């Protein structure tokens, strides 16, 4: 399918690997020029070079922590007039509700709520003025079905979901859509870290922990960054203008609900 976005320009954060890279690759395959960001210079620059060579699009890499105002300013300056914004950031570490401090919550909210909000506030006015835009926030399946040990993430991402619910409906008549993609378990560094933690707690190997978690998913496996990227690229496409303010699960059927 021609997504109808060739020649558009996208900003994708946390895009050097994992789900962010999957999104960047899918958009590049559709002919979209990219500005990508991540904290690790080596991985980010390698990703930029590989995507540019493979798909023949322009890829600018801006190294830095997107949660820091100075980095956001550099990323937004490099991005210029973006048509597509995909926000993404690693989730806060797992833990227990008794041990989380106020500072822990503030760090989580800053990274996983306020940073995406700041990026939207910067990019939406230009999209509205040009009469077209797509925003996709990569959040978490925990928004639908909270994960106890990821309470910091549950809290921050629920706040972002509330912001999007109202804002998406204010900008939709300007040709701008905002939606959230909610990944379940995917084969990324985040899943590897969670498997390692489960293995340590249960006295098993990480491979055994991964197999147990995969067995609990109706699809019987973890998702891949490539299929996640393809779903995101469709939401960013010319065909998705009537999808507004939605929270779309990509979890292999793990969330058990009729509606």
The predicted pLDDT at position 195 comes to 84
DSSP collapsed to 3 states, the chain: CCCCCCCCEEEECCCCCHHHHHHHHHHHHCCCEEEEEECCHHHHHHHHHHHHHHHCCCEEEEECCCCCHHHHHHHHHHHCCCCEEEECCCCCCCCCCCCCCHHHHHHHHHHHHHHHHHHHHHHHHHHHHHCCEEEEEECCHHHCCCCHHHHHHHHHHHHHHHHHHHHHHHHHHHCEEEEEEEECCECCHHHHHHHHHHHHHHCCCHHHHHHHHHHCCCCCCCECHHHHHHHHHHHCCCCCCCCCCCEEEECCCCCCCCC
pLDDT, tens digit (0-9, with 9 covering 90-100), for 13-57: 999 999 999 999 999 999 999 999 999 999 999 999 999 999 999
> pLDDT band at 242, cuts 50/70/90?
very high
Segment 145-165 shows an average pLDDT of 92
pLDDT tens digits along 178-197 = 999 999 999 888 788 888 88
Residues 193-211 pLDDT 10s: 888 888 888 899 989 888 9
What pLDDT does residue 239 have? Answer: 98
């Amino acid at each position: 399918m021609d997504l109808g976005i060739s020649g558009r320009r996208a900003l994708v954060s946390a895009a050097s690997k994992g789900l962010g890279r999957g999104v960047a690759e899918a958009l590049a395959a559709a002919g979209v020029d990219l500005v990508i960001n991540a904290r690790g210079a080596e991985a980010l620059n390698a990703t930029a070079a590989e995507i540019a060579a493979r798909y023949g699009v322009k890829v600018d890499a801006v190294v830095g922590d997107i949660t820091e105002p100075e980095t956001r300013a550099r990323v937004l300056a490099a991005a210029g007039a973006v048509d597509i914004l995909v926000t993404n950031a690693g989730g806060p570490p797992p833990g227990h509700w008794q041990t989380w401090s106020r500072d822990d919550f503030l760090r989580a909210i800053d990274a996983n709520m306020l940073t995406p909000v700041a990026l939207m506030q910067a990019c939406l006015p230009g999209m509205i003025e040009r009469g077209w835009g797509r925003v996709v926030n990569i959040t978490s399946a925990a928004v639908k079905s909270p994960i106890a040990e990821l309470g910091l993430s549950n809290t921050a991402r629920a706040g972002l979901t509330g912001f999007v619910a109202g804002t998406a409906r204010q900008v939709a008549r300007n040709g701008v859509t905002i939606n959230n993609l909610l990944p379940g378990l995917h084969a990324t560094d985040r899943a590897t870290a969670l498997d390692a933690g489960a293995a340590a707690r249960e006295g098993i190997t990480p491979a055994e922990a991964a197999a147990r978690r995969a067995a609990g998913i109706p699809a019987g496996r973890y998702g891949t960054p490539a299929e996640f990227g393809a779903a995101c690229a469709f939401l960013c496409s010319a065909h998705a203008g009537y999808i507004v303010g939605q929270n779309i699960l990509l979890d292999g059927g793990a969330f058990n609900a009729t509606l």
